[in-house]
Structure 1
Amino acid sequence: MIVKPKRLQKGDTVGVIAPASPPNQENLRRSLFFLEELGLKVKLGRHIEKEFGYLAGKDLDRLEDVHEMFEDKKVKAIICAGGGYGTARIASLIDYDLIRKNPKIFWGYSDITFLHTAIYQRTGLVTFHGPMLASDIGKEDADPLSKQLFNQLFDPISIDYNEQISPLEIMIHGNVSGTLIGGNLSLLTSTLGTPFEIDTKGKLLLIEEINEEPRSMDRMLNQLYMAGKLRDVAGILVGYMNHCIPNRKQTLTLDEVLNDYIKLVNKPALKGFKIGHCSPHISVPLGVTATMNTYEKQVMVEPGIQ
């Protein structure tokens, strides 16, 4: 059963956590002004300033912040400060019954992909793939459109992605609907063989990536293909591939790698979405129905809130 979280109201409190790597604290502080401009109050995770190597505190610290924000009835949404690495380390420790009993907005991307997948598959809760506070919104050159799309948390608006936002390339023609899932390719691949292995059957799969050369992209796509995850999809949305360039002379291009697997899958596919590690970053709900029409170069995503 799909569960849409309740919409935000002016004056609501949002929780801010760092479930992966330590966020840039200066950017984080700057981003809090943005939340206040939206008419929101902020509750910071108790461990948000902690550092433990490449992690924002020890696993139990980050887990505690996740649980506390879902448990607090005053907190109406949870927005992640940043990504990096670490969410998979706490996925098996999360109390999903707690989340199921306290459904609320959960927002982030990149390493947060693992939590998006785990939460949706264990609870049916719709979550949001969108720019994060310290990583994106708190930067001095944060894009206005990235900020504007936070409005979908207040009003149940559909996302109409067409070429007015960015040029889209048709990879395989088709008109298809399905539940939108996905996110960062590395994190999706890392779910395989775990209790949180991504279920792609009949779904529209969104993929995006950063700092992976074509050979690594090939490896991950091949693993998803051999595991049947690419063959099971209804369609594919290829998001932004940031700095996914070769560091060797003898190589395939990223386009060649992507085209190989899209042709193997032979399901409707569009490429060029400004979703992922990019600016602007178009935020979309995951777990809702989306419709892709390659002939019109358009994807319609239904609202993620009720």
Structure 2
Amino acid sequence: MHRRRFLESAAAGLALAALSPLALASTSRVTRPARLRPGDTVGLVSPAGITYSRDDLEVARATFAALGLEVVFGDHVLARDGYLAGTDQERAGDVTAMFADTEVDALIALRGGWGCARILPHLDYDVIRANPKVLCGFSDVASLLLGVYAQTDLATFHGPNGISNFSTFTTEHFRSVVMSADRAILANPESSEDALVPRQQRTLTIRGGHARGRLVGGNLTVLSAMAGTPYIPDTAGHVLFVEDVGEAIYRIDRMLTQLGQAGVLEGVAGFVFGVCRNCTSDSGGIAGFTLEEVVRHHVEPLGVPAYMGASIGHTTQKLTVPIGIEAELDADAGTIRLLESAVL
């Protein structure tokens, strides 16, 4: 770890020591990584699917250069093992090596696909725990974010991958949460429609009110597949968020049923359903349920504040949502307010 990082961590430790026992109990469980600053180095890894084009690497390098950040690539970033970016051991080794490398300040997944869950048993969590850094990505990368949070109590970041389209909105929120250490308000972008009442970027309240808890969640398909494993965090008392893409509504129903029966929904403080792009009825017409109806079936019985349509996940306008950080959900306004900075 850079000398600056060490001094920051030491100062944070002294600050915690000065807190009352009650305050210490409420803040000590989650480890926050150091913020990214211009000149820092981002390690780009491929923990899941193949990256076919070398040009993707150059696009990612240019993206982070525009943010004032240097880039290094994992040893197996262009490797191939079937549809995976190298063997499970190679992909896990790249992640562990980036955490161990004192010249690397953050890890960002180049892309999703499938495969992160396969590397979870092969990661060195002692190394990760001893070298807390920003870890960011979305889609299949959610299993890596959740697994690391569950095993190490390190806050992770559900946000853009390395080859994501960093729109102005996406970039501003990434900077705010990961670089500026803002206690940001996570809200959808304003619609650019020329309409008296815009239809885009709207949220829908399922049950009104406010809820407070640590944020946890990710891709619904990934989350439901992790149920029952040691790599899914305890969600009780958390504000749970989910998102997905290209799923038939009956499969959304099936996955929410799985989460409910596995106890993942039990005891959550609040619930947010993010963007579900191209999630359509399989039966057509009026015979099937709508997405809203399915979400209501599973979420209303929880009796907690909840809303739909958050700009999380598979969307160009992407919020960066810190997993493990205390936040307040306003289901009527459709916002999440961070109650603490996600980075030091």
Pair in the same fold by TM > 0.5:
yes
Smaller-chain TM-score range? over 0.9
**Aligned residue among 265, 276, 284 for 1:241:** 276
- 2:260 corresponds to which residue? 225
1:174 aligns with 2:215: no
1:15 alignment partner AA: G
- 2:180 corresponds to which residue? 155
CA distance in 2, matches of 1:129, 1:91: 17
1:146 aligns with 2:170: yes
- 2:295 corresponds to which residue? 258
CA distance in 1, matches of 2:46, 2:188: 34
Structure 1 gap ranges (5+): none
**Aligned residue among 273, 276, 279 for 2:313:** 276
Compute the displacement of 1:273 (Å).
Answer: 0.5
- 1:56 corresponds to which residue? 85
Contact 1:22 1:54 in 2 (8 A): yes
SS at 1:107's partner residue? strand
2:240 alignment partner AA: L
Compute the displacement of 1:162 (Å).
Answer: 3.7
How many residues are matched?
301
- 1:305 corresponds to which residue? 343
After TM superposition, the score normalised by the length of structure 2 is 0.84
Gap change, CA 1:168 and 1:69, over 3 Å in 2:
same
2:90 alignment partner AA: D
Structure 2 gap ranges (5+): 1-28, 191-200
SS at 1:292's partner residue? strand
Compute the displacement of 1:163 (Å).
Answer: 5.6
**Aligned residue among 22, 25, 31 for 1:3:** 31
- 1:29 corresponds to which residue? 58
After TM superposition, the score normalised by the length of structure 1 is 0.94
Contact 1:67 1:94 in 2 (8 A): yes
CA distance in 2, matches of 1:229, 1:153: 27
1:195 aligns with 2:233: no
Contact 1:188 1:198 in 2 (8 A): no
Contact 2:137 2:159 in 1 (8 A): yes
CA distance in 1, matches of 2:297, 2:139: 24
- 2:11 corresponds to which residue? none
Deviates more, 1:291-300 or 1:72-81: 291-300
Identical residues among aligned pairs (%): 35
- 2:71 corresponds to which residue? 42
User: 1:32-181 residue pairs with structure 2 within 5 A?
Assistant: 32-134=61-163, 136-137=164-165, 142-151=166-175, 152-162=177-187, 165=190, 166-181=201-216
Deviates more, 1:52-61 or 1:240-249: 240-249
1:237-263 deviations in whole A, cap 9, x for unaligned?
A: 110001111333453222221111112
CA distance in 2, matches of 1:101, 1:231: 32
Greater relative CO, 1 or 2 (CA 8 Å, sep 6+): 1
